[in-house]
């Protein structure tokens, strides 16, 4: 708790240097998030954003090329468990990138609508000390989560590339990720440098896109929690519908990536890039599920608070209003990933299934290996 409070204090001072007005803090916050998204062409909070902008088209072209390069690498490594799984892990990032671009581009109008709603919300409720405290607390929590998530994601990616570089200098050439440019060998310096630069560029785009999209989700979800505190539930329903397909694809890809990493790490314990990738995926999954848990708790607390209101002492008209509010609070929106609710239970369930399927695949691989040895001995 001490560390969290210290981080909150740092975030509070940081925001206060921007402005003491929560409305301006929110505007500056969204502008920073939009600049990061603009690096990959999804600056959806800009008034002049166009889904067909040149920057986004170039990113889509790069994603298309990246997909086919990974698919080619996957076919050439078939039969080698470690290399195949490594390529499969990076290939799944294409699915994550595509669904994120789909959500933010196809639903850019809805996203802008939600953004304008929050701007008007800050304008409307600014001025009252108690409400200002809620607004500032939401901004501080969002900024803190963004900073922590960005730091963890960037650090894990940076350590992966630094480890690869040090290993390549001291031992042998080894790329940090599983994909490489076809017909460009990595056993000589020029080929290794070209593939290393290519992987660094693609990873930079991927990490930037993940940070910008995930932080936008953090902002929307914490704003939904604020709306629950203010007894306004329409915003949360729109937000939940917006991200349902997103979580279905992202959680599915992360699950397959985790299984692949577990299989490789158990088979080859000194495969250190896998540990860094595992950390990045765990951070992404944990933040989403933890915030989903917070949203569920907020909704449950609202329902209990309304239920405990002494409605029997009210007028009949007020009793009807309380009844309608109670009914609305029981359906504030469900943050789903297709097979369940996005919460900490889903987080642990995904890891439980990851371990089970990973161990099963390792067992099957060992049985096939022993059967092959027995066949050779008999032959």
pLDDT digits (tens, 9 = 90+) for 15-49: 778 777 777 888 888 888 888 888 888 888 888 88
* Burial (CB count within 10 angstroms: exposed 0-12, middle 13-18, buried 19+), residue 369: exposed
Q: Is residue 370's pLDDT more than 60?
A: no
* 23, 209 contact by CB (below 8 A): no
Cα distance between residue 56 and residue 41, in whole Å: 4
Predicted local confidence at residue 55, as pLDDT: 85
Rounded to whole angstroms, what are the CA distances from 261 to 177, 184, 254? 12, 26, 10
User: What average pLDDT does this structure show over 327-345?
Assistant: 74
pLDDT digit string, tens, across residues 213-260: 888 888 888 888 877 776 666 777 777 778 888 888 888 888 888 888
What's the mean pLDDT in 53-80?
86
pLDDT digits (tens, 9 = 90+) for 176-197: 887 888 888 777 888 888 988 9
| Amino acid 7: pLDDT | 75
CB 163 within 8 A of CB 273: yes
Instruction: Kindly state the average pLDDT of the residues 207-212.
Output: 87
């Amino acid at each position: 708790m001490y560390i969290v409070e210290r981080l909150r204090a740092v975030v509070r001072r940081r925001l206060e240097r921007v402005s003491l007005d929560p409305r301006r803090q929110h505007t500056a916050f969204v502008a920073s998030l939009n600049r990061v998204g603009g690096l990959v062409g999804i600056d959806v909070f800009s008034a002049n954003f166009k889904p067909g902008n040149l920057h986004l088209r170039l990113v889509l072209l790069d994603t298309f090329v990246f997909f086919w390069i990974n698919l080619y690498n996957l076919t050439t490594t078939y039969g080698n468990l470690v290399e195949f799984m490594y390529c499969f892990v990076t290939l799944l990032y294409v699915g994550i990138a595509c669904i994120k671009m789909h959500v933010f581009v196809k639903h850019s109008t809805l996203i802008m609508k939600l953004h304008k709603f929050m701007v008007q919300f800050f304008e409307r409720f600014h001025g009252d000390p108690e409400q200002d405290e809620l607004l500032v607390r939401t901004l501080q929590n969002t900024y803190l989560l963004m900073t922590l998530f960005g730091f963890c994601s960037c650090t894990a990616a940076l350590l992966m590339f630094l480890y690869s570089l040090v290993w390549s200098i001291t031992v042998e050439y080894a790329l940090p990720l599983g994909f490489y440019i076809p017909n460009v060998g990595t056993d000589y310096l020029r080929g290794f440098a070209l593939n290393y630069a290519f992987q660094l560029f693609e990873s930079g785009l991927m990490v930037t896109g993940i940070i910008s999209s995930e932080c936008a989700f953090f902002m929307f979800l914490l704003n939904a929690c604020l709306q629950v505190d203010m007894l306004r539930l329409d915003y949360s329903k729109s937000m939940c519908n917006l991200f349902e397909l997103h979580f279905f694809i992202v959680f599915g890809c992360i699950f397959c990536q985790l299984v692949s990493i577990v299989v490789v790490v158990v088979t080859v314990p000194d495969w250190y890039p896998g540990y860094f990738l595992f950390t990045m995926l765990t951070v992404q999954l944990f933040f989403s599920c933890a915030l989903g848990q917070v949203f569920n708790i907020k909704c449950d607390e609202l329902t209990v608070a309304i239920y405990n209101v002494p409605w029997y002492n009210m007028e009949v008209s007020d009793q009807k209003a309380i009844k309608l509010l109670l009914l609305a609070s029981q359906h504030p929106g469900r943050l789903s990933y297709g097979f369940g609710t996005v919460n900490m239970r889903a987080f642990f369930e995904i890891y439980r299934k990851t371990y089970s399927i990973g161990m099963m695949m390792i067992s099957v691989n060992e049985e096939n290996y022993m059967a092959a040895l027995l066949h050779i001995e008999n032959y």
